[in-house]
């Protein structure tokens, strides 16, 4: 019995494309065997569908993670890491749990809530001071603390890359990182350096963001 035979047995949960929701869940209706050119599924909406598959199984639909892994605070902890799994995990954390931050290894994924959240006060800064990434819930302060600690310990130049589409919250994320550096560096108030760095952002974006994809 091949690996595909076991993973795509009757009752296995999978993802299939959806014209509006991008992805939707479905269940394998009949055991799939390697070499088959179709796989029978039933969507959660109740529609039965027969999907065409390549004999080598290279285009089989993505598998869904077990329920216990859905909502993980680190995407790398999931059994299956692909587009529908990532999107669903982020959706669960943001829409159902109101959590905007999620790790993907050493990367911090942030969803712009388009609202002020009580996550950046002095008490939160103190909570993340001296903590390693992963000890507490994902946060921009955890990433900033990791960079600050390495800067102190290794005395080397470091960079935090803030990437995203227009409106993703890059400027605000940079502002909160600078706020953390200002606080742990001796002052919880906005410093002159912080103001200068944030004020330079539009100029830098004029050169670096000639095209937004």
Q: Which residues contact 96 (CB under 8 A, 6 or more apart)?
A: 71
Alpha-carbon distance of 176 to 93, in angstroms, equals: 21
Known binding residues: 164-171
196 close to 203: Cβ distance less than 8 angstroms:
no
Alpha-carbon distance of 194 to 164, in angstroms, equals: 21
Q: How far apart are the first and last CA of the chain?
A: 44
Q: Which residues contact 46 (CB under 8 A, 6 or more apart)?
A: none
Beta strands in the chain (DSSP E): 13-18, 22-28, 38-43, 48-52, 101-104, 107-110
Known binding residues for ATP: 164-171
DSSP letter (8 states) at residue 11 = T
């Amino acid at each position: 019995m091949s690996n595909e035979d076991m993973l795509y047995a009757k009752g296995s949960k999978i993802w299939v494309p959806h014209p509006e929701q991008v992805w939707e869940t479905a269940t394998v209706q009949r055991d799939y065997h390697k070499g088959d050119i179709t796989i029978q599924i039933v969507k959660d909406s109740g529609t039965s569908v027969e999907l065409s598959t390549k004999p080598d199984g290279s285009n089989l639909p993505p598998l869904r993670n077990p329920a216990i892994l859905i909502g993980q605070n680190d995407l790398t902890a999931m059994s299956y890491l692909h587009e529908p799994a990532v999107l669903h995990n982020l959706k669960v954390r943001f829409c159902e749990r109101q959590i905007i931050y999620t790790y993907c290894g050493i990367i911090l994924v942030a969803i712009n809530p388009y609202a002020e959240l009580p996550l950046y006060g002095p008490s939160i800064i103190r909570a993340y001071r001296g903590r390693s990434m992963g000890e507490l819930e994902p946060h921009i302060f955890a990433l900033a603390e990791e960079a600050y600690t390495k800067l102190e310990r290794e005395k080397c130049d470091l960079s935090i890359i803030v990437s995203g589409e227009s409106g993703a919250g890059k400027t605000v994320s940079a502002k909160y990182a600078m706020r953390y550096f200002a606080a742990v560096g001796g002052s919880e108030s906005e410093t002159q350096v912080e103001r200068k760095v944030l004020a330079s952002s539009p100029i830098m974006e004029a050169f670096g963001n000639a095209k937004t994809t």
